Amino acid sequence: MKKDIYISLVFSSKGVDFAEDVLMNKAISTIIPLQLPDIKKSVKIPLIGKVHL
């Protein structure tokens, strides 16, 4: 005896737009990792001298 199984899915345009936004943001964040340069600065403070930040 063979049983037929059916699956039905309904997608709303809002749901598809939401999924697209989530997946695109995830894809962009994994493709382009954020790399910040090291920030170095020297300041001369009276009585203390030169300070490296």
| CA–CA separation, 34 and 24 (whole Å) | 16
Residue 47 domain flag: yes
Question: Which range of residues forms the domain containing residue 20?
Answer: 13-52
- pTM of the full structure: 0.40
| CA–CA separation, 8 and 25 (whole Å) | 28
> b/e map of 25-45 (b: 16 or more CB within 10 Å)?
eeeeeeeeeeeeeeeeeeeee
Residue 39 domain flag: yes
Tens digits of per-residue pLDDT, 3-37?
Answer: 888 888 888 889 889 989 999 888 888 877 777 77
Residue 33 domain flag: yes
Count of structural domains, the chain: 1
Question: Is-contact 52 40, C-beta < 8 A?
Answer: yes
Output 12 or 40, whichever has higher pLDDT: 12
| CA–CA separation, 18 and 14 (whole Å) | 6
Residue 53 pLDDT greater than 80, yes or no? no
